[in-house]
Amino acid sequence: MPPAVTNFVAEAAAAPEGAPSPIRQFLNARGSGGTADGVFKGVMLLCGLSIFGIVLFIFTILTVNSKLSLKQFGFHFFVHSGWDPVSGDFGALPFIVGTLETSLLALAMAVPLAMGVAIFLSELCPAKLRTPISFVTELLAAIPSVVYGLWAVFVLVPLMRDSLGPLLFKYLGWTHLFDGYNFGVGILTASIILAIMILPIISSITRDIMLAVPTSQREAVLALGATRWEMIRTGVLRNARIGIVGAVILGLGRALGETMAVTMVIGNHPEIAKSLFAPGYTLASVIANEFAEASGDLYLSALIEIGLALFLVTVVVNAIARALVWAVTRGAPARTI
């Protein structure tokens, strides 16, 4: 027979594991124990880690499935320009060149305009206009790629073929960039649609970054007698320049991976051409166009290797861009699409 105990502390200390106190039992029944909290936190952590999991999964599965082509061609794959599925000759150079050409051209067109828009929205815009303009920008950034492609096929391509193209040839023909037959579809058309698509993204992130510059910086520069532009240049742009570079690189990442709209207007021809009117091909559009009908393991694995290359490049580009943007906005990062 156990001794009678009146001391609660001693009772609690001496209580056997099998019989928790009524209060503890009540709390556990309500899920107030440490176990429930631990399980909950564990599940949340697992879901958080799933984001790492997705990245690892994509990398692994693409590597495994492109093994055939990785083994057969090695690094030569990326500097070789043949693309002949029938004879099994694969090289990704035309696609790499096409991707870089369209993306850089798109950046060249979009960045100056996007800077102007961002400066206007963050520094000059009357408060009444700011909300509608940024709303429209957000909306345009959210329109699906395939819809831009549809517009490009029926509006931009005829425009390019009938009016814009001949005009360019007439005035800039001496550069020999616009030689050859103008089909309407081609590198230049793809670059223009890309520029239209990345403009809202670059300008809205740049605006966010410029708004993150403290107002005191602007006031200080203005107090020294600067004009508004000098204030923007020394007070805002100089402070935000790292983040602006990040925003531009983010736009580059978007342009590199853009698939549908480009596939619809680039002409899909695996050849490196000097003319901007010539049809081309990009990494993403060759996958979109040929993957479903790829016959043969080597063909498929070559396409998957292109996908792997695209994945690695966009991850690196985006990581650099994010790091730069985060450096400026500090914990309140600008979001994208």
Partner 1 sequence: MSTNPFHAPPPSDRDTLAQPPDHKSQWVRFNTARRYATNHLITGLAVLSTVLVIVPLVAILIYLIYMGASSLNLDFFTKIPAPVGETGGGMANAIVGSGIVLALASLIGVPVGIAAGVYLAEFGRGKLLAGAIRFTADVLNGVPSIVMGISIYALIVKPQQHFSAFAGGVALAVMMVPTIARTTEEMLATVPHAIREAALGLGVPKWRTVLSVSLKTASPGIITGCMLAFARVAGETAPLLFTAFGNQFWSFKLTEPIAALPLQIYVYAVSPYDEWHRLAWAGSLVLIVMIMVAVTLVRIYASRGVLKGAS
Helix axes 238-257, 297-329, angle to 10 degrees: 160
Of 108 and 143, the one with the shorter C-beta distance to partner 1 is 143
Binds partner 1 (CB under 8 A): choice among 96, 97, 264, 302: 264
The encoded tokens of residue 123 equal 């520094």
Binds partner 1 (CB under 8 A): choice among 44, 79, 108, 327: 44
CA angle 212, 214, 219 (to 5 degrees): 140
Kindly state the smallest distance separating residue 86's Cβ from partner 1, in Å.
Answer: 22
In the numeric block, the tokens 């880690």 are attached to 49
SS3 292: coil
Kindly state the smallest distance separating residue 4's Cβ from partner 1, in Å.
Answer: 32
SS3 183: coil
Contacts of 66 (CB under 8 A, 6+ apart): 301, 302, 304, 305, 307, 308
Whole-number CA gyration radius for the chain: 29
117 binds partner 1 (CB under 8 A): yes
Question: What part of residues 156-195 is at the interface with partner 1 (CB under 8 A)?
Answer: none
* DSSP annotation string for 49-110: HHHHHHHHHHHHHHHHHTHHHHHHHGGGGGT---EETTTTEE--HHHHHHHHHHHHHHHHHH
208 binds partner 1 (CB under 8 A): yes
Binds partner 1 (CB under 8 A): choice among 14, 15, 49, 167: 49
Of 219 and 297, the one with the shorter C-beta distance to partner 1 is 297
198 binds partner 1 (CB under 8 A): no
Kindly state the smallest distance separating residue 337's Cβ from partner 1, in Å.
Answer: 5
- Comparing CA positions, the residue from 93, 32, 20, 71 lying closest to residue 271 is 93
With contact defined as beta carbons under 8 Å apart, do 99 and 282 qualify? yes
* Pairing outcome for strands 83-84 and 89-90: antiparallel
Binds partner 1 (CB under 8 A): choice among 165, 184, 243, 257: 257
Binds partner 1 (CB under 8 A): choice among 5, 10, 113, 224: 113
Question: What part of residues 274-333 is at the interface with partner 1 (CB under 8 A)?
Answer: 284, 287-288, 291-292, 303-304, 307, 310-311, 314-315, 317-319, 321-323, 326, 332-333
Question: What part of residues 13-42 is at the interface with partner 1 (CB under 8 A)?
Answer: 30-33, 36-37, 39-41
Kindly state the smallest distance separating residue 1's Cβ from partner 1, in Å.
Answer: 37
Binding mask 51-90 toward partner 1 (x if CB under 8 A, else -) reads xx-xx-xx--xx-xx-------------------------
115 binds partner 1 (CB under 8 A): yes
